[in-house]
């Protein structure tokens, strides 16, 4: 055990649920953080957890999963596992990103710290703090002094962020890194040389909350101004250029994620929705600029969407309503809500998703319920304001892998549509009906989606609204007839 190791608690209170589409359960809760969880990063068999008190901790997932497997016969258990505090900084951590040979962290004080593995993957050593002193000196030697005007009429070297660095994104080749900040700037960094290569001073009209880098060379940023922007270095140019502005959300955009091999962009916002964007121009690497269009809007959260994580056709959204929703992209860009992961005592602030490979091995290690295909298993890690990290095992059944699930959902929705339409003519006052409509809207949504899926609930809600409108129109006709007869 390293000198900076300490004991953390892994509590296994198996909370499982199944539906016709998937099986999901909370397999472990990682406790012991002294402040809320602000960032997560999965690197092999290790989970890095950042907190608002400036600590970065490492949890060995292989040890955690082994402990859960040993205690799988018990419905509730607790154990201790060695976790290492790999860093203690003087500024709250905002974001983590795994580089393969280390870790990168962004901080409230406007700095970025680069870490490398030392003595194995269980220890980290500080490599540099960005911007480096050499980078600052180089900026000062540039013509004009390298200064730019920032907020509150202050001037500072362009390599500096003057406010919290909210998000980081690594390019697929690992050569570049992009950072965004509340100071509205977007910066590009060269990781081999640890220097700032470019800075876009006013990338948005308000604080920037998220950034992702796509395999085709595009960089996407999301801001509190309600927009998502796409950036790209055009052929023969060294500077990032704005190529597309996406406006669909009615509130601040908090999170971004790339899915389907980088072809689909997801954005989550304070308007409680997740919007899926796809390129209508069909641009590839080196091709024309993107033309992003919204192909779907995923609704279901009761409060703001704060974080996203995507891998393949699965996307997870964490919200201030304390839940995590797991969505699956099907045929014809149709989305289904597979699961609602409920168990946190505070808003879900960060997510990490692992599918296939070692991540799948960790998921299947519990053997609480045998999976028919490991390709459908996912390990979802969620960090919350309640200071805990929960590990969820989500297994998508084989029945949902085909495109028929989309049509089955529509068929069930039409059946419910017919039931509500007939209820306009048949008086229905059953106890179950009365109890159902006395429930809250969120509870009704969960009840119907559990039975029929998203399409069934949407059709049910639409027909319910239609029925109410028809009832109001009928009431107005009766009132008009009464006036005419009098």
Give the tens place of pLDDT for each residue, 470-483: 666 665 556 555 55
What global pTM score does this model have?
Answer: 0.76
Q: What angle, 0 to 180 degrees and rounded to 10, lies between the N-to-C axes of helices 404-422 and 441-452?
A: 120
The rounded mean pLDDT for the chain is: 78
Beta bridge partners of 232: 241
Q: For residue range 422-452, what is the model confidence (pLDDT) as tens digits?
A: 554 444 444 444 544 555 555 555 555 554 4
CATH number belonging to domain 5-402:
2.130.10.10
Reply yes or no on whether the pLDDT at 368 is more than 50: no
- Residue 242 and residue 292 in contact, taking contact as beta carbons nearer than 8 Å: no
In this predicted model, which residue has the larger pLDDT, 288 or 320? 320
* DSSP conformation class of 402: S
* DSSP conformation class of 290: P
Domain boundaries, the chain: 5-402, 409-485
Q: What is the C-alpha to C-alpha distance for residues 169 and 264, in angstroms, rounded to an integer?
A: 16
CA atoms within 13 A on the CB side of 328: 26
């Amino acid at each position: 055990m390293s000198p900076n190791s300490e004991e953390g608690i892994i509590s296994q209170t198996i909370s499982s649920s199944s539906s016709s589409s998937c099986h999901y359960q909370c397999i472990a809760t990682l406790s012991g953080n002294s402040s809320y969880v602000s960032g997560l990063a999965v690197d092999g068999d290790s989970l890095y957890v950042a907190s608002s008190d400036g600590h970065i901790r490492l949890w060995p997932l292989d040890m955690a999963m082994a402990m859960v497997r040993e205690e799988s016969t018990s419905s509730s258990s607790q154990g201790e596992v060695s976790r290492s505090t790999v860093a203690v900084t003087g500024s709250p951590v905002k974001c983590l990103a795994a580089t393969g040979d280390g870790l990168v962290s962004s901080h409230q004080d406007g700095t970025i710290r680069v870490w490398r593995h030392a003595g194995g993957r269980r220890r980290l050593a500080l490599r540099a703090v960005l911007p480096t002193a050499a980078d600052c000196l180089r900026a000062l030697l540039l013509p004009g002094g390298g200064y730019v005007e920032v907020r509150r009429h202050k001037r500072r070297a362009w390599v500096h962020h003057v406010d919290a660095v909210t998000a980081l994104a690594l390019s697929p080749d690992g050569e570049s890194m992009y950072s965004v900040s509340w100071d509205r700037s977007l910066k590009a960094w060269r990781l081999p040389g640890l220097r700032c290569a470019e800075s876009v001073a006013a990338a948005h009209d308000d604080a920037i909350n998220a950034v992702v880098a796509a395999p085709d060379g595009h960089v996407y940023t999301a801001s509190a101004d309600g927009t998502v922007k796409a950036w790209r270095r055009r052929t023969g140019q060294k500077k990032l250029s704005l190529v597309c502005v996406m406006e669909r959300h009615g509130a601040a955009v908090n999170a971004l994620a790339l899915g389907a091999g980088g072809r689909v962009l997801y954005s989550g916002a304070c308007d409680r929705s997740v919007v899926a964007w796809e390129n209508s121009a069909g641009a590839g690497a080196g091709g024309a600029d993107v033309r992003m269009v919204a192909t779907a809007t995923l609704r279901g959260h009761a409060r703001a969407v704060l974080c996203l994580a995507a891998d393949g056709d699965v996307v997870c959204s964490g919200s201030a309503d304390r839940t995590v929703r797991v969505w699956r992209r099907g045929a014809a860009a149709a989305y289904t809500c597979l699961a609602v992961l409920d168990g946190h005592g505070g808003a879900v602030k960060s997510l990490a998703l692992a599918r296939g490979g070692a991540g799948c091995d960790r998921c299947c290690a519990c053997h609480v319920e045998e999976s028919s295909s490991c390709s459908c298993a996912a390990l979802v890690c969620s960090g919350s304001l309640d200071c805990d990290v929960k590990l969820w095992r989500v297994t998508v059944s084989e029945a949902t892998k085909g495109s028929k699930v989309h049509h089955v959902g529509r068929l069930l929705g039409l059946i419910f549509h017919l039931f509500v339409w007939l209820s306009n003519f048949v008086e229905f006052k059953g106890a179950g009906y009365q109890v159902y409509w006395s429930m809250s809207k969120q509870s009704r949504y969960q009840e119907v989606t559990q039975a029929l899926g998203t399409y069934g609930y949407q059709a049910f809600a639409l027909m319910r609204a239609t029925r109410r409108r028809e009832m109001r129109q009928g009431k107005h006709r009766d009132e008009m007839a009464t006036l005419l007869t009098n």
